[in-house]
Copies of this chain bind each other. A is one copy, B any other.
Amino acid sequence: MAQATDPSRSQPATLTDVARLAGVSVATASKALNGRSQVRAETRQRVIDAAERLSFRPNQLARGLLAGRTGTVGLLTSDLEGRFSIPILMGAEDAFGAGAVAVFLCDARGDAIREQHHVRALLGRRVDGLIVVGSRTDPRPSLGREVPVPVVYAYAPSEDPADLSIVPDSVGAGRIAVDHLLACGRSKIAHITGDPGYLAARERALGARSALADAGLALVGEPRFGVWSEGWGRAATAMLLDQHPDIDAVLCGSDQIARGVMDVLRERGHRVPEDVAVMGFDNWQILTSASRPPLTSVDMNLEQVGRAAAHALFGAIAGARRSGVEALPCRVVIRGSTAPLS
């Protein structure tokens, strides 16, 4: 018997095989397996047993061909390497994987030509929708309105306001970061951040200033833009301490910068968090938990961004199209580098 039904040798069983084994027509077999009502219980069981014995698995291609929907979506990332894409991708995969939807992964490597190529390939495979994941929060060109399936942009919003984009709320992130520092009793807060060419850097700075202004305060000096590296964090901190030795908090544009900041603070004899509180952005586990003390950081909830994008795409496929940019809140993860001023 094992030989007769050995699935590794033969082609996968088809519904016709199941029907023949059960002694019914393919139509009846289909109805039996899909729980339709026009089948006698005894017949249904016979079909189910036959399907089991043949380890029958419906051919989704044939099903999709007929139904018009394939139960697949395309996940188009512009930069797989970037650490921001991965959590979004996980969230989306999670939201889809729970249902009966499979995800095509494509990496365009930041190349518009390659992206176009992937879109065409995905449309040829009749995906039901697309999620476009960017590697930074700056707006990106739209795929265009003539794409015949719904598209949702995640992390990097589309330039076309008619598209739907799901992004983290960078302004709000800057605001809640400062709120936390204020709650810790800090008032002389400096901001060392990354490349001003990044919208995220500018928006976080904007949010931080706005929250300070609401409290009747201001940043110590201007925000110090630079690059996203520990080295810049170290250099900027040295300059900062020369000009303003009396700061009691440094809000850093990224965890990497924060790590550099903390190193220089410690070398110069400032205690963290007793004298100076330090905060980062991104909540990058490997950095926050390895630093001494562990780093308080703002998490962008990227998995949630991915899940929200997946759900939005679901909705759009079902006909409920939205548009515009939807910003999701971030959250402060408190660790040892911030504490109330005693």
Contacts and interface: CB of A to CB of B under 8 A. Distances in A.
B124 A59 contact: yes
A246 interface: no
A94 interface: yes
Contacts of A62: 61, 65
Interface string A243-260: 000000000000010011
Contact of A104 (B102, B145, B286): B102
Interface string A107-138: 10000000000101111111000000000000
Q: Which of A8, A94, A260 has the most CB of B within 10 A?
A: A8
A90 interface: yes
Contact of A126 (B60, B94, B145, B256): B60
A103 interface: yes
Number of copies: 2
A102 B86 contact: no
A298 interface: no
A258 B148 CA distance: 51
A97 B8 CA distance: 27
A230 B290 contact: yes
A147 to B, nearest CB: 7
A120 B56 CA distance: 10
Contacts of A259: 290
B230 A123 contact: no
A329 interface: no
Contact of A86 (B81, B120, B126): B81
A229 B290 contact: yes
Contacts of A140: none
Contacts of A290: 229-231, 256, 259-260
